[in-house]
Amino acid sequence: MKTVICHFYNEEWLLPWWLEHHSKLFTHGIMIDYHSTDNSVNLIKQYCPTWDIVTSRNPNFQNARAIDSEVEYYEHQLSGWRMALNVTEFLYGTWDDSQNQWFVPQYVFVDMETDSQELDPKRPIYEQRRWGYSDIEDYKALSMGSSPRPVRSLHNYHMNYPLGRHFWNNKPNTDKLAIFYYGWASMEPNSIQRRMQIQTQIPNKPTSYSQPGGHHVFTEQLLLDRFRKEQRPLAKDLSEVIDRLTLNK
């Protein structure tokens, strides 16, 4: 069995893309609902009717260790391959059984000024956003204050995650897999609203960033300023990476 685990809160904008894509890669899914109030649950039932939807035992996203523990709880009941992803993370490529753990690199996709139109829900995002950067290759992201996105783990055994499921000390061990991170791929109103509403699930946040280099900001202006300062300057054409990993899609 191949299982993907994802926790979500009010993700109805990105979920149709995410569900349609990952239903082709994984035979099973466990979707952990952080008390959504939008149409997210119904979308999962529509796109992936055989997947499990469970209500999180956590009230919000404040405690990273509690979030990891809940993912581990469900993973330990599984056999076969498993991976935990956020709704902004799309896995591309193929893998085999030559080893029991793949450390998968991430590519961050960026909405450029030339991308004037909003994302078309009828087309894959990789066809619409071709510019971005790799945190594995572009370490200048660190000097600009941008938060690097470490490798994620795809594995076929029971494990306990490092905090936040972040494997800071591991390098990618495959070029046949990659995660396309779409958190910055569109700055249309739907995307901005998505980010702004998620911060309501992180209590006791400061008035700027919820954590150093974190994803969530206190005001829309801070979000846009950070995007223009930290994301767009790093972007380059990733068509070669996209085509290599999606050629057979």
Q: Would you put residue 131 in left (φ > 0), alpha (ψ -120 to 50) or beta? A: beta
pLDDT at 208: 41
Contacts of 247 (CB under 8 A, 6+ apart): none
How high is the pLDDT of residue 210?
A: 41
Residue type, 69: S
pLDDT of residue 124: 96
Return the C-alpha torsion angle 111, 113, 116, 122, nearest 10: -20
Q: Are 165 and 68 in contact (CB under 8 A)?
A: yes
Quote the number of domains for the chain.
Answer: 1
3-class DSSP state of 213? coil
Below-70 pLDDT ranges, the chain = 116, 135-148, 203-218, 248-249
DSSP three-state, residue 1: coil
pLDDT for 203 equals 61
> How many whole angstroms separate alpha carbon 155 and alpha carbon 80?
8
List, for residues 172-210, the tens digit of each pLDDT value. Answer: 999 999 999 999 999 999 999 998 887 777 765 544 444
Each residue's pLDDT tens digit, 210-224: 443 444 556 888 888
**Alpha carbons 19 and 43: distance in angstroms, whole number:** 9
Range of the domain at 47: 2-246
Q: What is the pLDDT of residue 166?
A: 87
State whether residue 63 is helix, strand or coil: coil
Cβ pair 206, 218 in contact under 8 A? yes
Give the chain's end-to-end CA distance (angstroms, integer). Answer: 21
- Residues 172, 105 contacting (CB under 8 angstroms): yes
At 214 the pLDDT is 46
* pLDDT number for residue 137: 59
- Cα 150 from Cα 171, distance rounded (Å): 8
**Looking at beta carbons, which pairs linking 235-239 to residues 24 or more positions away fall under 8 Å?**
235/110, 235/112, 235/131, 235/132, 235/133, 236/131, 236/132, 236/133, 237/130, 237/131, 238/107, 238/109, 238/130, 238/131, 238/132, 238/133, 238/134, 239/130
Give SS3 for 118.
coil
pLDDT value, residue 209: 41
pTM of the entire predicted model: 0.90
